[in-house]
A and B are shown apart, each in its own frame.
Chain A
Amino acid sequence: MNRDDDAMIETRDLAKSFTLHVQGEIKLTVLDGINLSVGAGECVVLDGPSGVGKSTLMRTLYGNYRVDQGAILVRHDGGQVDLATATPRLALDLRRRTLGYISQFLRVIPRVPTLEVVAEPLRARGLGAQEARERAGALLERLAIPRRLWSLSPVTFSGGEQQRVNIARGLLAGHPILLVDEPTASLDADNRSTVVTLLREARSAGAAIVAICHDPEARAALATRFYRLPPRELAA
């Protein structure tokens, strides 16, 4: 039945609209007929003009947005799970172990130290505090976050520092599928190249990556393929 047996994540006829009840019941159809399949070791960069629905597709692939119709088939625990119909509990397990998301924005409880923020996904998978912290520290070091900042909350960090903390947190647990939204947007050249290297390493290690990335150099370095979103038709 599978169209693509090697797919790590695959959508079938995915459609997503928003109905704005507070604003006169306007219905916006953002995605329609999306068929995307990404295998291990691939990095598919989403393509298309601003407003075509790249971010919406990304959030939908993570289960952050719910779909109107279609399936999101995810390889999980040796089987295949449809995220579009999964129970919240299964969706959480999928996120814990299979599906990683690196957004542009960091959302954390104030006060929690950076090292804990980064180590948390490993802790959630049952790793001991000490080992999780060590691995978090090693990754923060590669991303040039100075050790003296590790005990502070990232809330007060600069945009570029927050983004690197976010990337460390997203990469640390080694999820087999990574959804990456503008990973290099607010970084300087050195940090940009570190992030690209880290993502390429993840890709070589077999991760299936879906990315939104406008920076031409990073795009060229990361993409094994582009997926062009179909143009949106305005709903009547």
Chain B
Amino acid sequence: MMTPSAEQPLLTVEGLTKRFGARTACRDIGFSLWPGEVLGVVGESGSGKTTLLGCIAGQLTPSAGQVWFEARESGRVDLAALAESDRRRLVGHDMGFVHQNPRDGLRLDVSAGGNIGEPLMRAGMRHYGTIRGLAAEWLGRVEIDATRIDENPRRFSGGMQQRLQIARNLVTNPRLVLMDEPTGGLDVSVQARLLDLIRQLVADLGLAVILVTHDLGVARLLAHRLMVMQDGRIVEAGLTDQVLDDPHEPYTQLLVSSVLPL
């Protein structure tokens, strides 16, 4: 983190294109991401943000291009060229995915503790006491009272469910976490708490994050760098404050000037 040239990027996307039939959802996307960096991706619905996340997370196979990832065990690999089973295993190990709707990322028929313990068991951990201890510790880190470890998350508020989803994703120490509108459906007061939590965890764990959001305020507070997408392309990219305070492209200027003043 101290000397920028010393380390390799964790993720390098090159010429990534994804077509669905005649429609091109992502066109020729390229960028690099280093450990400790939060990259915001903004743009309106249908601009290709979620498709891009899907291609990086291995849920979608790109039509063209490479997704170079520095994997913990196997070193630098092109995720786009891996067989689907290999890709899923690697992604499961080294990446987290926080969905907008916590119900898509949690198992609602399993206790809060079970939701955090499950990824640990999938990673090969067997000792019940250790798993339960880690689950309790992570509940604390995401500010959920550890006495609720055996409760079903269906009874949690939306903000708590979202924090539980974050714990479930971070307990296995991923290096890269993809977040799709993580504060999307939440009340503003709950949003602030979650933003603060994400900010702290990212800093403490040195995570790399790709944060998809349509909320420029969220992007400003969390992202170091910003990419603006329109119609499947990156139209503008740079430091977050540069892009928001000195937007060059017509579309970015429109986005920034459309935010209602507070």
A112 adjacent to chain B (CB < 8 Å): yes
**Which residues of A are found within 8 Å of B245, using beta-carbon distances?**
59, 64-65
Do A64 and B257 touch (CB < 8 A)? no
Complex Cα–Cα for A18 and B199 (A): 32
Do A22 and B242 touch (CB < 8 A)? no
Complex Cα–Cα for A45 and B34 (A): 37
- Nearest CB in chain B to that of A16: its residue: B246
Q: Could you give, for residues 244-255 of chain B, a 1 whenever the CB lies within 8 Å of some chain A CB and a 0 otherwise? A: 011011100110
Q: A187 CB to closest chain B CB, in angstroms?
A: 25
**Which residues of A are found within 8 Å of B249, using beta-carbon distances?**
21
A149 adjacent to chain B (CB < 8 Å): no
Instruction: Select one of A22, A91, A97, A109 contacting B192, CB under 8 A.
Output: A109
Q: Which of B226-251 contact A (CB under 8 A)?
A: 237-239, 241-242, 245-246, 248-250
Interface size for chain B: under 10, 10 to 19, 20 to 34, or 35 or more residues?
A: 20 to 34
How many residues of A are in contact with the other chain, CB < 8 A? 27
Complex Cα–Cα for A125 and B1 (A): 9
A111 adjacent to chain B (CB < 8 Å): yes
Q: B203 CB to closest chain A CB, in angstroms?
A: 7
Stretch touching chain A among B103-111, B124-132, B217-225: B217-225
**Which residues of A are found within 8 Å of B220, using beta-carbon distances?**
107
B28 adjacent to chain A (CB < 8 Å): no
B201 adjacent to chain A (CB < 8 Å): no
**Which residues of A are found within 8 Å of B225, using beta-carbon distances?**
88, 92
**Which residues of A are found within 8 Å of B237, using beta-carbon distances?**
88
**Which residues of B are found within 8 Å of A66, using beta-carbon distances?**
238, 242, 246, 248
B4 adjacent to chain A (CB < 8 Å): yes
Q: A186 CB to closest chain B CB, in angstroms?
A: 19
**Which residues of A are found within 8 Å of B148, using beta-carbon distances?**
none
Complex Cα–Cα for A71 and B224 (A): 23
**Which residues of A are found within 8 Å of B34, using beta-carbon distances?**
89
A12 adjacent to chain B (CB < 8 Å): no
B196 adjacent to chain A (CB < 8 Å): yes
- Nearest CB in chain B to that of A120: its residue: B203
B205 adjacent to chain A (CB < 8 Å): no
Q: Could you give, for residues 193-225 of chain B, a 1 whenever the CB lies within 8 Å of some chain A CB and a 0 otherwise? A: 101100100010000000000000000110011
Do B4 and A111 touch (CB < 8 A)? no
B180 adjacent to chain A (CB < 8 Å): no
**Which residues of A are found within 8 Å of B37, using beta-carbon distances?**
89
Given contacts A89-B34, A89-B37, contact A126 B1 (CB under 8 A): yes
A41 adjacent to chain B (CB < 8 Å): no
B260 adjacent to chain A (CB < 8 Å): no
Instruction: Select one of B2, B4, B192 contacting A126, CB under 8 A.
Output: B2
Complex Cα–Cα for A93 and B37 (A): 11
Complex Cα–Cα for A19 and B254 (A): 13
A90 adjacent to chain B (CB < 8 Å): yes
Residues in B lying within 8 Å of A, measured CB to CB: 1-4, 34, 37, 192-193, 195-196, 199, 203, 220-221, 224-225, 237-239, 241-242, 245-246, 248-250, 253-254, 257
Listed A/B pairs (23) with beta-carbon separation below 8 Å: A18-B246, A19-B248, A22-B254, A64-B242, A65-B246, A66-B238, A66-B242, A66-B246, A88-B224, A88-B238, A88-B239, A89-B4, A92-B225, A93-B4, A97-B2, A107-B220, A107-B221, A108-B221, A109-B195, A111-B192, A111-B193, A111-B195, A124-B203
